[in-house]
Amino acid sequence: MTSKTPINLGKVGKKKLNVEIIRTAMSAELDAISLYEQLSAQTDDVAVKGVLLDVAREEKTHFGEFQEMLLRMDSEQVKELEKAREEVKQFGEK
């Protein structure tokens, strides 16, 4: 894994604890997606590749669930996400 869970979440204020828990879970899901997609690219076994990519897709759903929770809990994150969408629009749409 590339990210690390904070050693002591006790240092996080009670008000922000759940937000930090969700962010840590999101980070773990991103690590899992990356790992499974990288492993799938290295195998020639169609079944192994299929299972890895299927699990990676499931992890993307998990990430989305955590993101939805984060957006419910952190109004600043909502504002910044909207700002980011507008900034990306400057580069054109696919």
Q: What is the pLDDT of residues 21-58, one digit of tens each?
A: 999 999 999 999 999 999 999 999 999 999 999 999 99
Q: Please report the pLDDT score of residue 36 as a whole number.
A: 98
Q: Give a yes or no: residue 26 inside a domain.
A: yes
Q: Give a yes or no: residue 82 inside a domain.
A: yes
- Whether residue 1 has pLDDT greater than 60: no
The whole-model pTM stands at: 0.83
Q: Give a yes or no: residue 3 inside a domain.
A: no
Rg (CA), the chain: 17
Q: Give a yes or no: residue 1 inside a domain.
A: no
Q: Report CA torsion sign: 3, 8, 59, 88.
A: negative
CB 57 within 8 A of CB 2: no
Tally of structural domains, the chain: 1
- Whether residue 76 has pLDDT greater than 70: yes
State how far the Cα of 74 lies from the Cα of 15, in Å rounded to an integer. Answer: 11
Q: Please report the pLDDT score of residue 74 as a whole number.
A: 96
- Whether residue 85 has pLDDT greater than 70: yes
Q: Give a yes or no: residue 94 inside a domain.
A: no
- Whether residue 67 has pLDDT greater than 90: yes
Range of the domain at 67: 9-89
Token couple for 76: 């600043």
